[in-house]
Amino acid sequence: MPISLNVNGAVRQVDADPDTPLLWVVREDLGLTGTKYGCGIAQCGACTVHLDGAPLRSCSAPVSAAAGRKLTTIEGLSSRAAKAVQKAWVELDVVQCGYCQSGQIMQATALLERNARPSDRDIDQAMAGNICRCATYHRIRAAIHAASKQLSA
Amino acid sequence: MMRAAYRSATVRALGSVLSLFVAGAAAAQPVTLQAPGTFDALQDRQERSRALFVEAGKVLQSPRCLNCHPKGDRPTQGADMHPHEPWVVRGADGHGASGLQCTTCHQAANFGPSNVPGHPTWHLAPASMAWQQQSLGQICVQLKDRRRNGGKTLAQIQEHMAHDALVGWGWSPGGDRAPAPGTQEQLGALVQAWIDSGAACPAP
């Protein structure tokens, strides 16, 4: 079934069953492979995208949920908060294997767009659903604080 | 096909976690609710009223309801009511912390491929309506207390139990989750009969 999606600011047409997990459509039909499959059961956060600016685990939503709404993937992040997050991630050398990091960056960006000065508790609560097997958590936390400082400057 | 690969990988991930639960659910018989008339034999009005509430309590104290009526700020999940994974909290209004709202994972309907339950108004009951670690008598007192039940009259409580759509999700939980006992209509009838008989509470 043809579905029209607004993806990273551009209108894209896909032909998919409306119940197809959004993650599969993003990766296969749209070719946007920055968003990762980690578990398929909303336990790891690697599949995080933004829908109308709110974080969404794309493995756990049908593509029909994105119809008529603004979908943003890691490839399309462009907000002031997103740029601060990306800069901090690079400066603090957060990434090890990188697999979880698209989801981490999407989630951290969503947090800072809602709360530009998060406490450690705020970071705990917002990032709890994003798992990192390389255990870069301390660097993720430091980078969120660094991005927050930049946003407040 | 990549889609087949995703599905089989997801099923493997689910299977290793859920195989025991699936086996358990398949073996369990659905729990039924007795009709209000069953309790007419109880001559004493208060005793009959309490018995009606105990019957309704089979729903109120089922995991489908208790999981979202937690004592603290973290919901529980599953038939064994283990702490919700990942760690999530009620936030300012029961819809989750800023940046990690319930809707990050829970969509408008149950979603088969991820086995994540869903409903358009997915959220936690307020802290004043914590039912976990409460006896049925204590739950009954809380339900009647307008300071703790959202200001509802008994009629509004009955309306909520009988017709609220998120309450109704408890009977269509999807996946391998066992539904609440009986039906929402039967619960509504029991609660109405309880109210009509004086809304007596079991001992705390």
Pairwise CB contact (< 8 Å): A41 & B108? no
> What residues of A are in contact with residue B114 (Cβ under 8 Å)?
21, 40-42, 57, 59-60
Phi and psi angles of residue B157, each rounded to the nearest 5 degrees, phi first: -60, -45
If asked whether residues A67 and A124 sit together in one domain, one would say: no
Please answer yes or no on whether A114 and B99 come within 8 Å at the CB atom: yes
Contact check, Cβ <8 Å, B100/A128? yes
**Which residues, at least 6 apart from A32, have a Cβ–Cβ distance to it below 8 Å?**
A7, A8, A26, A73, A74, A75
What pTM did the predictor assign? Answer: 0.90
What per-residue confidence (pLDDT) applies to B3? Answer: 54
> What's the confidence (pLDDT) of residue B168?
98
* Cα–Cα distances in angstroms (integers) from residue B48 to residues B51, B54, B161, B187, in the given order: 5, 10, 20, 16
On whether both A99 and A35 belong to a single domain, the answer is no
pLDDT digits (tens, 9 = 90+) for A19-29: 999 999 999 99
Per the structure, the complete domain to which residue A72 belongs is given by: 2-76
Amino acid at B183: T
A–B interface: beta-carbon pairs under 8 A: 103
Same domain for A67 and A89, yes or no, is no
pLDDT (0 to 100) of residue B5: 45
Distance, CA of A9 to chain centre: 16
Instruction: Write down the pLDDT at residue A6.
Output: 98
Q: Give the domain-ending residue among A59, A76, A93.
A: A76
Q: How many CB atoms lie within 10 A of CB A113?
A: 20
Grouped pLDDT means (10 residues each) for chain B, 204 residues: 48 49 54 95 97 98 97 96 97 95 98 98 96 97 96 97 97 96 98 98 95
Share of residues in chain A with pLDDT > 70 (%): 100
Residue A49 has pLDDT above 60, yes or no: yes
Same domain (yes/no): A59, A106: no
Tokens 């670690």 belong to residue: B133
Number of structural domains chain A divides into: 2
Beta-carbon separation of B14 and A41 below 8 A? yes
Q: Which of A54, A56, A128 sits opposite B86 (nearest CB)?
A: A128
In this structure, the answer to whether residues A94 and A147 fall within a common structural domain is: yes
Q: Which of residues 75-114 of A touch B (CB under 8 A)?
A: 107, 110-111, 114
Residues of A in contact with B10 (CB under 8 A): 39-41, 59
**How many whole angstroms from its chain centre is CA B22?**
19
Which among B106, B107, B119 is the top mutation candidate for probing chain A, defined by the most A β-carbons within 10 Å of its own β-carbon? B107
Q: Final residue of a domain: which of A58, A76, A94?
A: A76
Same domain assignment for residues A84 and A146: yes
Tokens encoding A149: 């400082």
Q: What is the mean pLDDT of chain A?
A: 97
Quote the minimal CA–CA distance from B10 to chain A in Å: 5
pLDDT score, position B30: 77
Chain A residue with minimum CA distance to B13: A39
Last residue of a domain, one of A42, A76, A110: A76
CATH of the domain at A96: 1.10.150.120
For position B155, what pLDDT does the model report?
Answer: 98
User: Are A62 and A90 members of one domain?
Assistant: no
- Compute the distance between CA of residue B124 and CA of residue B136 in angstroms, rounded to an integer: 19
pLDDT-derived band at A17, boundaries 50, 70, 90 = very high
pLDDT of residue B10: 53
Rounded alpha-carbon distances, angstroms, from residue A142 to A44, A91, B42, B113, B165? 20, 11, 66, 35, 42
Are A112 and A147 within one domain?
Answer: yes
Searching chain A, which residue's CA lies closest to the CA of residue B2?
A28
Q: Let me know: does B83 contact B74? Beta carbons within 8 Å.
A: yes
Residue A106: closest CA among A41, A32, A17: A32
Interface test with B, best of A32, A37, A41 (most B CBs within 10 A): A41
CATH number at residue A69: 3.10.20.30
Chain B interface includes A148 (CB < 8 A): no
A5's enclosing H/E stretch is strand A2-7
Which of B10, B86, B99 has its CB closest to that of A40? B10
